A and B are shown apart, each in its own frame.
Chain A
Amino acid sequence: MSLLKYVQNLDRRIIFLFVGLGTVLPIIFPIGFPISVTAPVQIIYDRIEAMEPGSVLLLSFDYGPSSAPELTPMADAVMRHCARRKIKVVGLSYLILGGADMAEAVMSEVGRDLGLEYGVDYVNLGFKSGAPAPMIRLARDFHGVFPLDNRGNKVADLPLMRKVRSYADIDFIVELAATMLGDYWINVVNARFGEEMAMGTTAVSAPRYYAFLESGQLTGLMGGLKGAAEYEVLINQRGIAARGMDAQRIVHIMIILFVLLGNVIFFLERSTKKYSLLSG
């Protein structure tokens, strides 16, 4: 078999092996490639940096385990930034598959690390079905929509929630979504109630939300692992996203090389066919 034929019919397990090694090795042995910060992420950082201590940020965890590698580092970085600035965080979720637990895991971990007090510095309201109806109701009545938090406490008894009763008591919203729930937030909470918000989403979904960024409906946008890594760089705390970017860099280069190789074979094969047709 010629080399051309061999490469053309390359066993996909060889490609899998390359991708596997390209992913695992940089995570075990971090390289620390530089990460530049883009404007849509910088704007979110600046907006939170400009908030007064004691103001309230609403963090919506509308993603499940499948998107957690991209979105959990964003939640973690935003939460740590808020804690440093003494900004209170209210978490909630409209996604049934694990959204409330994503919130619980991130908020509890950051709370433990930085010595935050539950109910005073942060609250996880948990999951509510039927979005966008609860999004509309929250404009008037947080305590009615979420009478109990994720841990079963009465929301009205939590010190932080005594001053949070409607969107008017929220200073900024960060929505982390991997589903259509991001659209609901923009169309209902921003467009109807004029609440200022930013968004973090998966790399696959990010192109869709540039339209909302351009229209001013989103203040800022974090897209995929790169967006999370940029935020980690901004808060000067390189974490799992920055480490993951080493792997992403290597795998992206691999995929580009595989695509180039595939096209070189394609054109070589086409020219060989043309030549054999012309020569008879």
Chain B
Amino acid sequence: MQKQVAVIIAFVAGLMPIIGFFIPARVIRETIVGTLDNWLIIVSAFALVLGVESVVKVNVLKISRRQKGWFNSVIYLLALFLMAIFGITMGIGERADGSVTPFTWMFRAMVDPMTSTMFSLLAFFIASAAFRAFRARTVEATLLLVAATIVMLGRIDIGAALRIPELTEWIMNTPNMAAQRGIIIGAALGGASMALRVILGIERPYLGQSD
């Protein structure tokens, strides 16, 4: 019975936005679909709570079993709760006088530079990996190599005499666009068919199973 109720809820919740998209009746668009959209915003906020519960559980277990790197978990949990406490009790963002709240200070002084540092490491690893692995072994690899070189040069305004910047725009606007459009259309069709399977109850990921 519980499963049937869940399938019916999924069916109705999946069907109403489709009906609302095609039928402009105010009662459907505003009242029913509008309410469902509001619920979705609230439910997604609860998903964040579930996420916090999950990471707390995993890290507490790691600490209690003294697994490798358990001290990192202590720091992780401390940071999680400190930021949450400061954010909830003292607010976020900037104050009217231009000073920042402790939450925003921690974000800008710690999270921001640490995340940027991790991402900037890519430049070093890409250079090293390109030197070792980017080889013209096959026709396809050669095509990729030539296109990448042209785009990299075009992006830094080099080779104007050889019309490299124009060639770069052509690569982006024509072969790249055609391939991207194919990928997007393929993914959209896949997404639509998956959504249909969920609405009809063929796939039931919300029950933790599919048949």
Contacts and interface: CB of A to CB of B under 8 A. Distances in A.
B72 interface: no
Interface stretch (A31-39, A45-53, A157-165, A168-176): A31-39
Contacts, number: 167
A67 B118 CA distance: 11
B2 interface: no
A65 B93 contact: no
A16 B124 contact: yes
A256 B149 contact: yes
Interface in B177-197: 177, 180-181, 184
A203 B113 CA distance: 20
B interface majority secondary structure: helix
Given A36-B165, A101-B108, A252 B153 contact: yes
Contacts of A145: 41
Interface string B115-152: 11011100110111011101111000000010001001
B40 interface: yes
A65 B92 CA distance: 17
Contacts of A101: 92-93, 104, 107-108
A38 B155 CA distance: 10
A33 B157 contact: yes
B177 A130 contact: no
A248 B130 contact: no
Interface centre among B115, B124, B135 (most CB of A within 10 A): B124
Given A10-B131, A207-B172, A256-B149, A249 B93 contact: no
B179 to A, nearest CB: 9
A66 B116 CA distance: 5
A248 B120 CA distance: 12
A259 B41 CA distance: 48
Interface stretch (B43-51, B56-64, B73-81): B43-51
A34 B157 contact: yes
B88 interface: no
A151 B172 contact: no
Given A101-B92, A101-B107, A129-B41, A255 B157 contact: no
Given A207-B176, A252-B156, A98 B134 contact: no
B115 to A, nearest CB: 4
Contact of A259 (B43, B120, B145): B145
A266 B136 contact: yes
What bracket does the count of chain A residues touching chain B fall in? Answer: 35 or more
B93 A150 contact: yes
Given A151-B94, A258-B130, A259-B131, A65 B156 contact: no
A30 B127 CA distance: 22
B124 A245 contact: no
A118 to B, nearest CB: 8
B155 A137 contact: no
B115 A128 contact: no
A186 B68 CA distance: 45
B175 to A, nearest CB: 10
Nearest to A8: B132
B173 A210 contact: yes
B82 interface: no
Contacts of A239: none
Interface string A168-195: 0000000000000000000000001000
A23 interface: yes
B14 interface: no
Interface of B: 21, 30, 34, 37-38, 40-45, 47-48, 91-96, 98, 104, 107-108, 111-113, 115-116, 118-120, 123-124, 126-128, 130-132, 134-137, 145, 149, 152-153, 155-158, 160, 165, 169, 172-173, 176-177, 180-181, 184
Given A68-B116, A210-B172, A256-B152, 5 more contacts: A19-B127, A65-B112, A69-B120, A208-B180, A262-B132
Ordered nearest first, which 6 A-B pairs have the shortest CB separation? A130-B44, A133-B40, A66-B119, A258-B131, A65-B115, A249-B156
